[in-house]
Structure 1
């Protein structure tokens, strides 16, 4: 039976791969990725704190707006307190809407990752020309606010068309986080050359966990601890990436922030065994590994 497929990457079972280490001999890399989003008022796509699939309203717009007005700043204070570098998947509409955001991220030395113009829209329903425009406008908006072109991309709703990867590579992006297919990075083919997939969890992600599956903040913190402890043990056999995915309007709420802080403190007790980094730094390190080590690297020139 021949099923619909893709030509981006080949099958690869993790136990059969070559091994390597992260900087300083670490076996487990930790990525803390934060999402900063802005939505249309009573229109377009969005999420709701009380009812899955609820219509867009003033109430759920305001709930999400809490993330930019309060939640983000709660989270940045926590990241500073714990000395955790972070990357931020940013809607350029959020940077335009709240001018205090970009300078705060720049001051921390954090990474800006392209996350579309707004999470009120998704790119997989666009014609190729319109999708290219969305990608280019996102890139140029981040340059305008940060002074640097982003190298990483996470699509709104992790949505992709058949040509998204090609367009991203053609517009200067070198890695993506849209594919929760692995706990290690791997290279993928595009018509403009290879692009790297950096692990990004859809499971250890506060939005699906707490907004859609209605887990509590305490349950989410327990998930983080369990995921980390298991991956730390597994990393004795092979290098892994543990990503913790956050949204300002979800865990930026004080009652959720408290258990999150406790979970991150648990992780950081093992800091001497970790590479606590950002996705762009991880992607640069992987690009420097010998050909044949990372799946798909035979495509590299």
Structure 2
């Protein structure tokens, strides 16, 4: 059998890589990645609270809309209470419907990561011209609202076509989070240069955990803590990235928020040992490291 390959990056075993430190001599970078999404009513894609793959309905639309109306505001308050930065993977079409969310993000000074137009669609169903238009429309809307263009991209459903990386690099994006292949950043090839892959967990992620695998809030809390504790232990040898991935319509439910609060308190007891940061800051730091430090950067 002939294996199909992507030719976007080469194999790089973890133990063969250079060791470096994050800012302040830290070895574990910690990011809280929040997904703020908007959906189409009775149309398009969207998850369901009780049955994966259920058709679109008034009930599951309202359940998701709870996140923007209520759950997101609980999360903003929790981030303020814990004094942590957050990054927000943001559907651009949400801003016309919920502009107050953008106001709160600006007030907090958080990072905005481009997350397509809406999670009612996937970009991997599009031809190259239509996908380029989706990227352009998303970028223009976010830039208009926030004043600065986003430097990072996370596709809806982490879906990519064979040319997504090329289109993103050509549109000026510096990093992506759609390739959960590593606990360290690594460079990926495009047809006109390179783009950085920043770690983004699909394991410590409330959507697959609590919606699709039906884990409880307490189980997700345990996952967050165990992932953090083990990565903190492993980071004695090498720099690593921990991400907790959140959706306000899932973890913003009060009983799950209580479990998230406990997990964050555990993580933040180690505040002096970690670099509490955002994916964009990680990408910016990596671009300044000497050639050969980050896999794929050459020597």
Aligned to 2:190, the other structure's residue is in SS state coil
The aligned counterpart of 1:209 is 209
For residues 95 and 257 of structure 1, the distance between their equivalents in structure 2, rounded to whole angstroms, comes to 24
Deviating 4+ runs (over 6 angstroms): none
The aligned counterpart of 2:39 is 39
For structure 1, the residue ranges without an aligned partner over 5 or more in a row are none
For structure 2, the residue ranges without an aligned partner over 5 or more in a row are none
The aligned counterpart of 1:227 is 227
The alignment of Structure 1 onto Structure 2 pairs a total of residues equal to: 299
**Displacement of 1:96 after TM fit?**
1.3
**Displacement of 1:193 after TM fit?**
0.8
**Displacement of 1:145 after TM fit?**
1.0
Q: Confirm or deny that 1:98 pairs with 2:98.
A: yes
TM-score scaled by length of structure 2: 0.99
The aligned counterpart of 2:276 is 276
The aligned counterpart of 2:63 is 63
- Listed one character per residue, the Cα deviations across residues 236-278 of structure 1 (whole Å, up to 9, x for unaligned) are 0111000000001000111000010110110011110100001
For residues 102 and 218 of structure 2, the distance between their equivalents in structure 1, rounded to whole angstroms, comes to 30
For residues 95 and 87 of structure 2, the distance between their equivalents in structure 1, rounded to whole angstroms, comes to 15
For residues 180 and 276 of structure 1, the distance between their equivalents in structure 2, rounded to whole angstroms, comes to 20
- Listed one character per residue, the Cα deviations across residues 81-112 of structure 1 (whole Å, up to 9, x for unaligned) are 00110000000111111010111001100011
The aligned counterpart of 2:72 is 72
The aligned counterpart of 1:30 is 30
Aligned to 1:298, the other structure's residue is in SS state coil
Aligned to 1:297, the other structure's residue is in SS state coil
The aligned counterpart of 2:291 is 291
For residues 262 and 182 of structure 1, the distance between their equivalents in structure 2, rounded to whole angstroms, comes to 27
The aligned counterpart of 1:257 is 257
**Displacement of 1:191 after TM fit?**
1.2
- Listed one character per residue, the Cα deviations across residues 113-160 of structure 1 (whole Å, up to 9, x for unaligned) are 000000000000101000000001000010111111000000000000
Root-mean-square deviation (CA, aligned residues, Å) is 0.8
The aligned counterpart of 1:192 is 192
The aligned counterpart of 2:154 is 154
Q: Confirm or deny that 1:3 pairs with 2:3.
A: yes
For residues 183 and 99 of structure 1, the distance between their equivalents in structure 2, rounded to whole angstroms, comes to 34
For residues 79 and 46 of structure 1, the distance between their equivalents in structure 2, rounded to whole angstroms, comes to 26
**Displacement of 1:192 after TM fit?**
2.1
For residues 217 and 97 of structure 1, the distance between their equivalents in structure 2, rounded to whole angstroms, comes to 29
